[in-house]
A = this chain, B = another copy of it.
Amino acid sequence: MQDSNSDLKTLKKITILQDLQDAELAEVLAASVPRVFPTGSVILTEGDPGEQMYILLAGEVEVTKRLLLPIDQTAVLERIMNRLKSGDGVTLGEMALIENDVRSANVTASTDCRMLELSKEKAFLLFNQNPAMGVKILFRLSQLLSKRLRKSDEDIVKLTTALVVALER
């Protein structure tokens, strides 16, 4: 069991919580539930519903996405998108806070992982009770999504170009 002071220090480094004061981080900590995921366990499954976000306090995870090839429907490839570790300021499933949609990727624990689970309901209570904190978190969340969107759109341009070249061979 880690003490909550050390968790507060880790929370300061989480990307979407970086602008929060200590008292606000303590509010997030109080609204969250500690969770442990042993090596190899599945944290999020692509396509599953989910209303919780996870804050990675310790450990490493792997993010993958299914690729279903139409030439052979049984051949399901997994595209490894990212390996993330605590210290990178990682949250997982944070899109669940703002959307009623399914998980967009698979996340598996590559090592034993210690997390905080924050439900959508609790997050909204926090935003209502302290809108100034809400603005800080939602601003950084928007920034995170915006950066990911730019990266994905660059990938689309590259893939489209590669496809045009491949079809012209």
Residues on A facing B (Cβ under 8 Å): 65-71, 79, 95, 98-99, 101, 104, 127, 131-132, 134-135, 138-139, 141-143, 145-150, 152-153, 155-157, 159-168
Contacts and interface: CB of A to CB of B under 8 A. Distances in A.
Assembly of this chain: how many copies?
2
A150 B70 contact: no
A167 B166 contact: yes
- Classify the secondary structure of A's interface with B: helix
A69 B158 CA distance: 9
Contact of A168 (B71, B127, B145, B155): B71
Given A134-B138, A148-B149, 17 more contacts: A67-B164, A68-B157, A69-B164, A70-B161, A71-B168, A95-B146, A98-B139, A98-B143, A101-B146, A101-B150, A104-B150, A104-B153, A131-B131, A134-B134, A138-B138, A138-B139, A142-B145
A79 to B, nearest CB: 7
A77 B72 CA distance: 32
Contacts of A148: 149
A144 to B, nearest CB: 9
Given A71-B165, A164-B69, A142 B153 contact: no
Nearest to A95: B146
Contact of A131 (B70, B132, B161, B162): B132
Contact of A159 (B66, B146, B160): B160
A162 to B, nearest CB: 6
Nearest to A157: B67
30 contacts: A65-B157, A66-B157, A67-B157, A67-B161, A68-B157, A70-B161, A70-B165, A79-B157, A79-B160, A95-B146, A95-B149, A98-B139, A98-B143, A98-B146, A99-B147, A104-B150, A127-B135, A127-B139, A131-B132, A135-B138, A138-B141, A141-B142, A145-B149, A148-B149, A152-B152, A156-B159, A159-B159, A163-B166, A166-B166, A166-B167
